[in-house]
Amino acid sequence: MINVLFAGHPDAWPVYEPLLKAEFTRLGVDAGLSNKFPPEDVDYIVYAPSGPVSDLTPFTRLKAVLSLWAGVEKIVPVVPAGMPLTRMVDAGLERGMTEWVVGHTLRYHLGMDAHILRQNGRWEPKAPPLAKDRNVTVMGLGALGTASALALAALGFQVSGWSRTQKEIAGVTCHSGADGLKAALAQAEIVILLLPDTPATENALNADTLALLPAGAKIINPGRGPLIDDAALLAALNSGQIGHATLDVFRIEPLPPEHPYWAHPNVTVTPHIASETRESTAAEVIAENIRRAEAGEPLLHLVDRSLGY
């Protein structure tokens, strides 16, 4: 019998327990599932930093740690070196992020804020350009960035993407490296941040990179708070170099009431709602990875510690 310890947030246990058991049965995995196994009896841990486990050293027969979170910057330091660690990439999270990104991109593209905020009795007919005449750049071409870029390309936008390693995505102009970043930003009227949070990506949007954008460009950040140099973004908003920013993630969450983003007229704050792990699809990913591990097959979404994701 394979012992699987659920070490996510305790409130999630009643939801995940029947879903994971059903997936184990469907896949023919002979697994026992509990949130209270003794450490020495555990083969796999389903993990989230919000759960009750912070020290993995007592888990002497542990085979792998399966994260419930897409971001693993808070998890990598907890997992012993050499222990396989997977991050959560599930269809529900991907779909939710794509819908949020497309929605806010269309909001900017169609100029919806102007119509909502300027109900001033003046008839000002000005149609937006077609999507084919709008340049959008997605920074980060992992699973979420690729899905969002493809959805925007399917709507007809001129989509560029930037990633640390070169990618090839049909319908998307892909860039990498320092020169590629300049090219990706030079014509980007809307920039979407979906990079992971690593030392190499911190402050990816800073005074220098914001200056590369066309004047009045829009920023959408559903990725990670540290991707943006907040002081630089506020300065660019105040100067008009950046026309507006829609921010879903922040260095400190909840965003403190005194933070200048709240009161800035050209910032939209959303409370980290762009997407979240969906229990039903996450259970499928977790159970499949345990099946793969027991069968000697490669794990899905294995974290590369050298890259940080």
**β strands within 93-223, DSSP E:** 135-139, 158-163, 173-176, 190-193, 217-221
DSSP string, 54-80: ---TT-TT--EEEESSS--TTTTTTSP
Active-site residue 224, yes or no? yes
Beta-bridge partners for 269: 247
Question: Is residue 60 within 8 Å of 44, Cβ to Cβ?
Answer: no
Q: Which of 251, 259, 264, 272 is catalytic?
A: 272
C-alpha distance from residue 239 to each of 233, 234, 304 (Å): 10, 9, 39
Any idea what DSSP says for residue 172? B
Active-site residue 118, yes or no? no
Q: Which of 224, 244, 291, 301 is catalytic?
A: 224
First to last CA, the chain: 31
The token pair that represents 59 in the structure block: 């888990």
Please list the active-site residues.
224, 272
